[in-house]
Each structure stands twice: as structure tokens, then as C-alpha cells.
Amino acid sequence: MTTTPGASAVAAFRQLPHAAFARLLIATGLLLAALIAYAGPAAAQRGPQSVAPVAEKLIDAVVNISTSQVAKGPEGVPLPQVPKGSPFEDFFEDFFNKRGGRPSPSERKVSSLGSGFVIDGVEGLVVTNNHVIEGADEIVVNFHDGSKLKVDKVLGRDTKTDLALLKVTPKKPLVAVGFGSSANLRVGDWVMAIGNPFGLGGSVTVGVISAKQRDINAGPYDDFLQTDASINKGNSGGPLFNMEGEVVGVNTAIFSPTGGSIGIGFAVPSDTVTTVINQLKEYGEVRRGWLGVKIQSISEDIGESLGLPENTGALVAGVTPESPAAQGGIEPGDVIVRFDGQDITTMRGLPRIVAQTQIGKSVDVEVLRQGQRQTLKVAVGLLDEGQSASAPAATETMPEAPPPPTTSVLGLTLLPLSDDMRTRFGFDPKISGAIITEIDPESQAATKNIRVGDVITEAQQQPVVEPAHVEAAVERVKKAGGKSVLLLVEDSKGDTRFVAIPF
């Protein structure tokens, strides 16, 4: 007679002493509890079971924005031209009259769609992207329940962050949403986008934060959140929510070779949005802080010359006269590593932080100068958005008169900067240095951002008045065992930059 494995196990359990059997039951229970505890977090890592409860509370605050404008020029096939007295004249006149009249051959009405969200249901304030409403003659806000409101006024817009604040007059209080802090987001956190992709209103998509502080070359203050939540054409201006139902970003752009979502979307972080929107509401414009420095990243070569790790802070290449930086004692060659209590880890981080600083606030600016840390006090000024350089552009044609004896170093042919050359090249009379008249195409210098007509004003952070000073700096670096020489170069527009040339 044969027995099954199960029967054998039961028989074995019956032969166990009571105490041993009890200990076995306890151990089994502990094992099951451990398995349940392990499975709980694992299941949570797969994402929320449903976002429906959150979406139901938010979807009425998300709106579709439709715009229309009159565009110049014909659209498609031109309208038929019917001769006077033709039998078809009455037919065509009647046809177009029934459809609102024959449009002008030089004008046509075009429309576009986007998304937005209500942040104040009593005042009727709606946030969207500036590019959604740009050039619009009429803006209509369409709500999830089918109602519509025409925008009374664009309270303000900011092209640099692509944000706009709209005003409607609600007949009753609107459903509104609030902002959360984008600084608290972590890569991998769940987020939800609601918007109007391809005109399909009230669409909900879910994903995670893929990256933070993305620079996509959209503007000077790029600090985008990247998400794989589906964002498509028409989602622009819509909100990106965290799982608490707070707005943590404004969906603005996608990366796509096809025009559709491939899982790489970008949103303006809410911490930037709140700063901009509050100023648009109060002033109708954005008032940004101004420091008055020209900065650049620290490359590997420049870092080696300065004795600093690559991508350390922001290197000051130039200081605007009479600017807050100049008055605070910041100098070319300083490396700004901390501003108003915030670490500057990348060059692009400084303009964003300065721009968001209160106008007139006196802040501590920590710099590295000749390897030594210093803390300076700087009063932040108001950025004039219309500021631009007005110095004449330099020409790359050298004067026809026979030049004085030249000096060749690092693949550069140099001459002292004379008064005649300052006039010919449009340099400030106060500028001193060695002007570059020729660049050896086979040299390391030819691979750097240097042009004929540029002036070397510093070498290894020491003033240059004549080419011999550059030669002396090269010799000092070689004796110290260095690998490259750090030059401060200026063009006739007044733009300065540091360049490290390896030996």
C-alpha cells in the first residue's frame, strides 16, 4: 500500500510532541508575517492601486484653453473668382453669406488648443503657458462640465519661463487647486498629468519624476522637471500633480522626433511657478534680481589651471561697471560657490537663484579668490530686461600699416594693444593687453574659443600689458609643473571669458 507525500507529512506531525508542534506553529506564523511584510512594500513600489480618488477631486480645476486670431495670408486653395454676371455669381454669394460672409483673401482665422488650471476660484485666476495664448485675439476657458468663460484680461506673461496668468469672471466659485513644493520631489516619485492632449479634454496620465534640474535650452532659467507621464500636443500649460493632489509643475514641452509622447516630457517646477505667478499678479510683470556678472562653467582645463574640480561653482569672467557685483567687490576670476545661503554647484544655477532673490536684499556671496575663500556683501539690483551691449563689433582685418615686431606663444601671434588698434577694433580706451593677430591652426589654441582680434587682458589671473607678460606666465606654470595656462580674453563688444590652453 502506497501513501501520498501529504499523508506522510500529516503522520509525521502526529508523532511530534505537543511542545515541538507548538514551536513549529509559531515559527510558521512568523514566516508568514515576514512574507506579508515583505510583499507590502514590494506591492507599493509598483505604484498606487488607483489614482481615481485624486483625479476626481482635481479634474474640475483643469481647463482647456482655446484661442483664435486673425492670420494674414491665404489658407489652402484660393476661393473661386466668379466673373460678374456669371450664372454662378448668385450661387457663390449665397453660399458664403450663409457661412458668415466671404473672408478676405489676405486674412484668415486660426485657432489653437492648450491646457491650464484654476488657482483662485473666487477671483477667476487661471495659469497656463505663454505660448498657448501668444498672439491670440480671443481666449476662451473651457471647463470640464462643458461651461465656457471668455478671458477678461491677461494679467501678465513671462516669456523666459513661458508662463501666463489669465483672469475670468466666474458666475459661481470655481474649483481651484493649490501648489506643492517641487523641492520635495525625488526622482522616482509618482506624478499625474491632467490636460487637453490633441483636443481630448480631461485626459489623465500617470508616471514618475524621471529627472530634476533639466536644461533644455528653452531659456536662461531652465530648471525643468522631467517625467514619463504622457504629455502631448495640447497638454501645454496643464498641471503636473503629486499624489497629494498638489501642483508640482506646469507641463510645457516634450522631446519627440514624432510629435507624440515618447516618455520624455518637461514641466516648469512649482517653486519657480509660484514666484513668477505671484509677481504677475502683483505687478503684471516679473521683476528679477540682478548681480551684474558674466559667468562661465569651469571646464576640465580651467579647473586644472585654478586648482579646482570640474564644475565647481560659477567662474566670473567679467563684472559690469557700477553693478551690484562691482559695488560688492566681486572681481573677474572669482569663483562664486555660495549665494544667499545656497550652494552654487553649476554655472546655470547662479542666474536662476539671483533672479528669484528679492530686489534690494543684501546677501552673502562666498567666492574663491586665488584659492582663498572670501565672503562679500552684495545688494541685489533690479534686472533691466532690455539691457544689451552697444559696443561696435570687432573686425578680423588687421591694420594695413606694418605691424611692430610680434611675439609667438601657445600658437598665438601677439602684439601690444596700441591706441591705434583700440580705435580700429572698437576697444575701450582703458583696456590694456596683448591683441591676437594670428592663430596657428595646428595649435591647441585653435581648438579653443579664441579669435583674431581678441585681447588677452590676464594670464594666470595676473594683468597683461604686453605679450611678454603672457610668456612669463607660461614659464611660471611650466616650472610649477602645470599643464595649461589660464587666459582672460576680451572682444571689442566687451565680452570676457576665461580660456585654458594646454601646453
For 352-408, give the DSSP string.
HHHHTSPTT-EEEEEEEETTEEEEEEEE-EE--TT----SPPPPSPPPSSPPPPPEE
Identify whether 10 is part of a domain: no
Q: Is residue 276 located within the same domain as residue 297?
A: no
Residue 482 lies in domain: 407-502
Q: Is 204 inside a domain boundary? A: yes
Which of 313, 348, 382 corresponds to the end of one domain?
382
Instruction: Say whether both 326 and 241 belong to one domain.
Output: no
Q: Choose the final residue of a domain: 283, 309, 332.
A: 283
318 has binding-site annotation: no
Does 461 lie in the same domain as 437? yes
Rounded to 5 degrees, φ, ψ at 53 are -60, -40
Average pLDDT, the chain: 80
- Residue 17, in any domain of the structure: no
- Quick one: 378 and 306 in the same domain? yes
Ranked by mean pLDDT, which of 296-310, 337-351, 415-429 comes out on top?
337-351
**Angstrom distance (rounded) from CA 251 to CA 240:** 6
- Answer yes or no: are the C-beta atoms of 407 and 435 closer than 8 Å: no
Q: Has 18 been labeled as part of a binding site?
A: no
Same domain, residue pair 334 and 352: yes
What is the model's pLDDT at position 152? 95
Q: Is residue 260 part of an annotated ligand binding site?
A: no
User: With 60 as the cut, is the pLDDT of residue 171 above it?
Assistant: yes
Q: What is the CATH number of the domain that holds 440?
A: 2.30.42.10
Whether 131 is catalytic is: yes
One domain for residues 262 and 301? no
Backbone angles phi, psi at 268, to 5 degrees: -70, 125
Strands 455-459 and 484-490: antiparallel
162 labeled part of a ligand binding site: yes
- On whether both 311 and 363 belong to a single domain, the answer is yes
Residue 162 covered by a domain: no
Q: pLDDT by residue (tens digit) across 185-219?
A: 999 999 999 988 887 777 899 999 999 988 877 77
Both 350 and 331 in one domain: the answer is yes
Q: Which of 66, 115, 210, 236 is catalytic?
A: 236
Domain total in the chain: 3
Alpha carbon distance 316, 138 (integer Å): 45
Q: What is the pLDDT of residues 439-494, one digit of tens each?
A: 888 888 888 878 888 899 998 888 898 888 998 989 988 888 888 899 998 887 88
Q: Are residues 264 and 294 in the same domain?
A: no
Encode pLDDT of 243-276 as tens digits: 999 999 999 988 767 667 778 889 999 999 999 9
Write down the catalytic residue from 162, 228, 334, 340: 162
Query: In terms of domains, do 269 and 298 share one?
Result: no
Catalytic residue among 66, 112, 115, 131: 131
What whole-number distance in Å separates Cα of residue 127 and Cα of residue 66?
14
C-alpha cell at 486: 589660464
| Within-domain flag for 438 | yes
Nearest in space to 316 (alpha carbons), one of 461, 116, 469:
461
Last residue of a domain, one of 233, 253, 283: 283
Tell me if 232 is assigned to some domain: yes
- Check whether residue 201 and residue 263 sit in a common domain: yes
